[in-house]
Structure formats: structure tokens, C-alpha cells
Chain A
Amino acid sequence: MKKILLGHGSGGRLTHDLIKNLFLKNLRNAYLSNLDDSAILRIGNQEVVFTTDSYVVNPLFFPGGDIGKLSICGTVNDLSVCGAEPLYIAVSVIMEEGLDMALLGRVVSSIKKAAHNAGVKIVTGDTKVVEKGMCDKLFITTSGIGVKSRKTNLSLDRVKKGDRIIVSGAIGEHGVCILSSREGLNITSRVRSDCASVNSLVAGILKAGGIVKFMRDPTRGGLATTLNEFVDGRRFGIVLDEERIPVSSGVKGICELLGFDPLYMANEGRVVMIVSKKGADKVLKMMRRHPQARGAHIIGECVGDYKGKVCLNTSAGGLRLVKMLEGEQLPRIC
């Protein structure tokens, strides 16, 4: 009998297969078929962007954030990178019998603060309690809607050879932070999660106009998985320069120690985008003025060779392929 494995939740190949072969097969329509984090719905003259996400992170509190902040930022970010202004959020909470009331209070005030900072309103919600042992302390689902200007045209169809790849800051901080916060590993590190709402950063970038062609937030599966989604089935490839990819020494150290690759570690407050060759320096300058993107870098470019593939010029002077995350690197990171 086939069962759900933890790997089905990794965001990698098993997740994709499950979504395609079960959910999409049964629920297919013009919107869902895009398999995007958000759906862009045309209602009258407006484009409404709609998204949802569940949060099961373990531990609930970690340096730089907690499940409450994460649940707001994640949904705000999914809307933002589609070019929308996030407006309204719904929050559903599933609690385990015996959950500490004070802990729940801390999560709720964290939700309040994150929503305030992002300028979104929590407009509806739901609560459920399950018997002890039926869920791990607290799970949160958030849904959000935002509106998008028709002038904003973010599409991979516009990507050309020579376009540049920009990342808004050091990668892998959230994944490594969660990893080192887990019990049992006994690692002390100063790495903090990058968990943050990117809507103000993205709104600033979008002012640069058409030179910004596409963007996503590289969460579960890391930068490598997101860039592979960019090139999947496309007529271009991406070549990255390992030396130009920003990675903090804390992230590097823990990854070295445990055998992880920062390219696959989750981010919760970063944006990766494709920008025209001409406009890249201008966008980079604009970004670096924003407190969330001081560490932004141009890390690679789109090429005509290696169609549908992501390659890496290694720091050692070699060249290799960068594939999508396979299997679980670490479960329950968000």
C-alpha cells in the first residue's frame, strides 16, 4: 500500500509529482494549471492575487522569528513577488490540547506585529483544537489577497539571453537557523532567520518598470530549486558564479559541518529576480538602498546554452549542474 512519506513535503520532486498526479489531475482548471504559489484572478477591471500556505515549523520559536511571524510574512511574500500589493489575510489555527496559553499569546502578538509591519489586515479566521498527540502543538494556515496593477508584467516569457539574476541578500539563513535551533544537534550559532515581509522592497523594485522581468521568493528547496523552476521547460538556461552568491560565514560553517549545500537551504525573506542586462546595475543600486537588500548581488545570467538547466561556475574553477532539491533535506522548516 502506498503511503505519504516525509519526502512528499520537501518541496522537491516528490511534492511536484504528488501535486500533479493527484491534486491537479482531479481539480484542474485554467488557474490551478499554472501551479503557481498565487493565482492571478481577473475580476472586472482589476487583477486580484490570491494565495494560501500552511505553517508547521518546528521549533515554534527560533532566532529571528516564530510560527506567527512566518505565517504572515510567507503569505505576504507569495503575493508580493507576483507583483501584487498584499491587503487582506485570513488566519486559521489548529491547536493541540494542552498547548500553553501564554505561548499562544506570544504567537498572536507576533502575528499582530508582522501584519502591522507589512501593512496588511487580518480580516477573518478560524480556530480548532485537536486531542493531545493529534498535532504537534500548533499549526497555522494563512490565506491572503492583494491587488495587482495591470501595468506590472512579470513573466518568464520576457526573459532574454544576457538577462541578469539578482538575489536580495545572503542565502540559507532561515534553513540553517531552524537546523541549529533543533534539539539534539547541540549546535550554537548566531545565524538568525531572514524571516521578513518583502512587500516594501518589492514595491520599490517594481518602480524600476519593465526592466524587472520576473521574481520569486526562494523558500523551501532554496535558491537552487527556485532557479530550476525558472528554467523548467524554457528556451534559456542560467549560469551562476559561486563566488558572487552571498552566503554568511555562519551559514557556510554549519553547512560545511553537516554536509548541506546553502543553495538548497530555505529563505523566508529573500527575493531572487531576473532583470534585463542593461537595467541590472540600476536595480541593484536601488535595492541596496533598502535595509532588507543591503547584501544584494548579481549572481549570474541567463544564457542560450544549457537550455532548461542551471549551472554553477564553482569557486574552485570547475563547472557543474545545479539540480532541483531531491528528497527531504530537512523536514518542517516552515
Chain B
Amino acid sequence: MKYVDEFRDKERIKLLADNIRATLDPDREYRFMEVCGTHTMAIARFGLKHILPENIKLLSGPGCPVCVTPTSYIDKAASYAEMADTIIATFGDMMKVPGSRTSLEKVRSERGNVKSVYSTIDALKLASENPDKRIIFLGVGFETTAPTIAAAIKEAKTRGVSNFFVLCGHKIMPPALEALLKDKDVMLDGFILPAHVSAIIGSRPYGFISKEYNMACAITGFEPLDIMQGIYMLIKQLTDKDPKIDIQYNRVVKPSGNKLAQAILKEVFETVDSEWRGLGTIPGSGLAIRKKFSSIDAEKNFKIPPIKSTGKDKGCICGEVLKGIKTPGDCRLFGKACTPERPVGPCMVSSEGSCSAEYLYK
């Protein structure tokens, strides 16, 4: 298939693997974190760890939106789902995420009012098709998805749609990376930075990573050849002692990003502190709907009884996995009590989660 097969060319991948081998120091360990869940999945699906030298360790980061969505958010969504005349519209991945007392999948089997949608526009359509119901869309995701939700919020406001609401759980990436870098348990040499988040924000917001923390960074695409080249760039930066923000994925990512998307994000959302599953509350890492659009903000419009969210599940180490401190195989629940069909932790729920990738492909 054009524009796909070229990036999966076995010979070129092998060539890059040879270059990586020739450039690296065979006596040292290289610890790179692929921040984005789609990278984790691609690395597993194409069996890339099998091709790379053994002293390169790839660790999965906090870039899977479902994985870092806290229990309290699921609990809130489930409570909204239990209100009369309400339909919850969500991306399918959220269905199985366990909350404190239930999951959206279970609510759906009992009440039938949780619908999977493929875009916010579908959720808006649901609102116009069901004028006697209120539609609450679960706004989850990073800078990649947030602009589309911002656009839907603007559209709903302009059109005066009165039954469309968003439960906003959006997060932004740079503050989370900074929190990771400040954690002294986290040991890394470089980041494979997200492709599509960077298409929106550009490369500049990551500048502090190489400047203040001396880390190698490469904004990398999702195809096997992209990932191999990204890793080569990281090795090269470390060998040359020249940490910087390389853009491997330059067919899509510009240093200044997508200005249109940045503008709509700024117009609709403001940054707030936000809770990440496994990482705790990170200052300035979340997006909340601005006052101007509060008529669409589910939390401003519906009061639900306070929920006592329980802490993390007994034995689940997703938090440490998200920081790259532990690997899925270190968890005693992995593959036994916790499988993709009966997930305990969020890293097993999402198809982009590191536990799920490890379970499916290794």
C-alpha cells in the first residue's frame, strides 16, 4: 500500500539497525521512553525489539490517554450515566476501564445508554437525533484530540445545541514529561517524543528537556522505519554529546506546530492542575472548559453526589509502568488476574496500553 509499505521496508529497517549498532557504545545501556501509546503498539506489532541491539531498552511512557485517566473520572462518568434521560457518548477504548464501583461497559449492559462514537461530530449528531435526551461526551485525550473536541464545543455553542455537554478530562503532554524528569526513580537517556501531539504543539514546548535535563529527544513517526530512525537519532545525539529536539517526523511536524489548532485550544480551554493515573496530580497538565463555554461543561451543569474513589487496585503497578520504572512482566497480576478481557489496571484496558501490547505480542 502506497505511503505505508515504503515505511515498512525490511531492507531499509535492517540498514538502520546496522547503523544503530555501528554508532552505539556496546558497553553501556540506553534507556529510551516512547511517550506515546501508538509507539508502544507499533514497536510490539512489528516486533522491533527483536531487531534492536539488546542494550537498548525501550520503556513505555504516560502517553496513552485511557491509561492515565484516573478512577475518579470513570466514577464521575458512571454517575452521569445513571442520571435519567442521559446518553454517554465515548470513544470505545473507555468502555472497559475499571472505576471504583463499575465500568461504562457494565453500565451499558444494565442501562443501554452508553454509546461508542468515532468522533465528536458523531456525538453532536446524537444530540440532534435525541432532542429529549442530554448527551454527555467524554472528552479524553491529549493535544491531538483536544482541538476536535474544542471545535465541537464551539459548534454546539454557535448552533445553540442545548443538550450537548462535555465531561472534560483532557491533558497536555509537556508538564507530564517534566514531572517524570523530576522523579528521581525515573532513569532515562532520551525520549521518543509523540508524533501527533507534536503535530499540534510543534517541537518548541519540549526545549527544556534537552536544555535543562540533557536528554536526547526525537519527535518520531509511527511506522517501523520512523521508529528505527528516531532511535538512531537518539543514539547519535548521545554519542555526539549534543542533546536536542530532533524532528524525525518532519513530513508532518513543524517546529511551530499547527497554529489553527493551537488557537482553538486556547479559545476553548484553560490549563488547570490535573490528576493522572499512576502519576498523581501534575500542576498545569490538564485542560478545563473556559467560562465562556460553561453551558457545555457537564461538571458546571449537573451536580452528582460526591464519590469516594478508592485508591489503586491491590497489586496493580500501572503507575510504575507508566513511569518506565517497572515493566508489565514485573506485575504479579499480569496475564493472570489482569488480561485484556478482564483488565485490572488501565495499561491493560487500552489497546495502546503497555501491558496490553506486551500481553498481545510477546
Contact of A314 among B47, B108, B117, B118 (CB under 8 A): B47
Give the distance to chain A from B346, nearest Cβ to Cβ, in Å: 15
**Chain A, Cβ-Cβ closest to B352:** A259
Closest chain A CB from B10 CB (angstroms): 4
Distance between A325 CB and nearest chain B CB, rounded to angstroms: 10
Say yes or no for B48: interface residue by CB 8 A criterion: yes
Given A5-B109, A252-B1, A316:B51 Cβ within 8 A: yes
User: How close is B115's CB to chain A, nearest CB, in angstroms?
Assistant: 10
For A105, list chain B residues within 8 Å (CB).
none
CA–CA, A326 to B8, complex, Å? 26
0 or 1 for each of A307-321: is its CB under 8 Å from B? (1 = yes)? 000001011111111
Residues of B102-130 contacting chain A, CB below 8 A: 105-106, 108-110, 117-118, 122
Say whether B50 contacts A319, CB under 8 Å: yes
Known: A4-B109, A316-B48, A317-B14. A184 touches B122 (CB 8 A): yes
Q: For the complex, what is the distance from the CA of A184 to the CA of B339, rounded to whole Å?
A: 30
Most buried by B among A252, A314, A317: A317
Which residues of chain B come closer than 8 Å to A112, judged between CB atoms? Answer: none
User: Is B213 engaged at the interface, CB distance under 8 Å to the other chain?
Assistant: no
A321 contacts B361, C-beta separation under 8 Å:
yes
Residues in B whose Cβ lies below 8 Å from that of A319: 47, 50
Asked if B307 is an interface residue, CB under 8 A from chain A, the answer is no
Contact between B339 and A318, CB atoms less than 8 A apart: no
Cβ–Cβ < 8 Å partners of B46 in chain A: 314-316, 318, 320
Whether B351 is near chain A, meaning CB under 8 Å from some CB there, is yes
Contacts of B44 in A (CB 8 A): 320
Which of B48, B109, B117, B341 is in CB contact (< 8 Å) with A184? B117
* B253 in the interface (beta carbon within 8 A): no
Q: At the interface, yes or no: A3 with Cβ under 8 Å from chain B?
A: yes
* Neighbouring B residues of A317 by C-beta, 8 Å: 10, 13-14, 47, 51
In the complex, the answer to whether A249 meets B1 with C-beta atoms within 8 Å is: yes
Considering the chains assembled together, what is the distance between the CA atoms of A39 and B332 in angstroms?
Answer: 40
Contact A252 B4, beta carbon cutoff 8 Å: yes
Most buried by A among B45, B46, B118, B339: B46
**Which of B117, B118, B224, B340 is within 8 Å of A326, CB to CB?**
B340
A residues near B359, Cβ cutoff 8 Å: 323, 326
Contact: A320 with B361, CB < 8 Å? yes
Instruction: Contact check, A256 vs B47: say whether CB atoms are below 8 A apart.
Output: no
Within the complex, the shortest CB–CB distance from A2 to chain B, in Å, comes to 10
Query: With A185-B118, A249-B1, A259-B351 in contact, do A320 and B45 touch (Cβ < 8 Å)?
Result: yes
Does B196 count as interface, using CB distance less than 8 angstroms? Answer: no
Interface of chain A: mostly helix, strand, loop or mixed: loop
Alpha-carbon separation in the docked complex, A18 to B286 (Å): 41
B292 within 8 A of A: no
Q: Mark B299-342, 1 if CB is under 8 A from A, else 0.
A: 00000000000000000000000000000000000000001110
**Chain B neighbourhood of A323, CB < 8 A:** 359-361
List chain B residues, Cβ under 8 A from A13.
Answer: 339, 341
Residue of A nearest to B348 (CB): A326
Given contacts A256-B1, A316-B47, A326-B339, contact A321 B362 (CB under 8 A): yes
**A326 to B339 Cα, complex, angstroms:** 9
A63 at the interface (CB under 8 A from B): no
**A327 and B8 contact, Cβ closer than 8 Å, known pairs A185-B118, A256-B1, A321-B362:** no
> How far is B362's CA from A312's CA once the two chains are assembled, in angstroms?
11
Interface flags for A42-54 (1: CB within 8 Å of B; 0: not) read 0000000000000
Give residues 49-93 of B contacting A (CB, 8 Å): 49-51
Q: In whole angstroms, what is the CA distance A321 to B45 when docked?
A: 9
Say whether chain B's binding surface is mostly helix, strand, loop, or mixed: helix
Contacts of A318 in B (CB 8 A): 46-51, 224
A314 to B10, CA, bound (A): 9
Report the minimum CB–CB distance from A227 to chain B (whole Å): 15
CA distance A218 to B304 in the complex (A): 47
B96 sits at the interface (CB 8 A): yes
* A184 CA to B92 CA, complexed, in Å: 14
Q: How far is the CB of A78 from chain B (nearest CB, A)?
A: 25
CB B237 to nearest CB in A, in angstroms, measures 24
Residue of A nearest to B117 (CB): A184
Residues of A within 8 A of B8 (CB): 315-316
Evaluate whether A327 and B109 lie within 8 angstroms (CB atoms) in the complex, with A315-B8, A316-B48 already known.
no
CB of A125 within 8 Å of the partner chain:
no
A residues 78-120 in Cβ contact with B at 8 Å: none
Which residues in A have their C-beta under 8 angstroms from that of B50? 318-320
Asked if B362 and A326 sit within 8 Å, CB to CB, the answer is: no
**In the complex, A253 has a CB within 8 A of chain B:** yes
Q: Is A295 an interface residue (CB 8 A)?
A: no
A14 at the interface (CB under 8 A from B): yes
Q: Min CB distance, B109 to chain A, in Å? A: 5
Say whether A59 faces chain B, with CB atoms less than 8 Å apart: no
| Residue among B4, B14, B341, B351 facing the most chain A CB atoms (10 A cut-off) | B341
Please, how many angstroms separate the alpha-carbon atoms of A333 and B334 in the complex? 30
Contact with B along A233-261 (1 / 0, CB 8 A): 00000000000000001001100100101
A210 within 8 A of B: no
Among A185, A249, A261, A315, chain B packs the most CB atoms within 10 A around the CB of A315
Nearest CB in chain B to that of A243: its residue: B10
Q: Are A3 and B106 in contact (CB under 8 A)?
A: yes
The answer, yes or no, to whether A279 is at the interface (CB within 8 Å) is no
The complex places the Cα of A321 from the Cα of B117 at a distance, in Å, of: 30
Q: What separation, in Å, do the CA atoms of A320 and B362 have in the docked complex? A: 6
Provided the pairs A185-B118, A249-B1, A321-B362 are in contact, do residues A316 and B10 lie with their beta carbons within 8 angstroms? yes
Asked if A64 is at the interface of the complex by the 8 Å CB criterion, the answer is: no
Nearest 3 Cβ contacts at the A-B interface? A318-B47, A326-B340, A320-B47
- Some 27 contacts from A to B, beta carbons below 8 A apart, are A3-B106, A3-B110, A5-B106, A5-B109, A6-B108, A7-B105, A12-B341, A13-B341, A14-B341, A184-B118, A185-B118, A249-B1, A256-B4, A261-B45, A316-B47, A317-B13, A317-B14, A317-B47, A318-B46, A318-B47, A318-B50, A319-B47, A320-B47, A320-B362, A321-B361, A321-B362, A326-B340
B interface residue numbers (CB < 8 A to A): 1, 4, 8, 10, 13-14, 44-51, 96, 105-106, 108-110, 117-118, 122, 224, 339-341, 351, 359-362
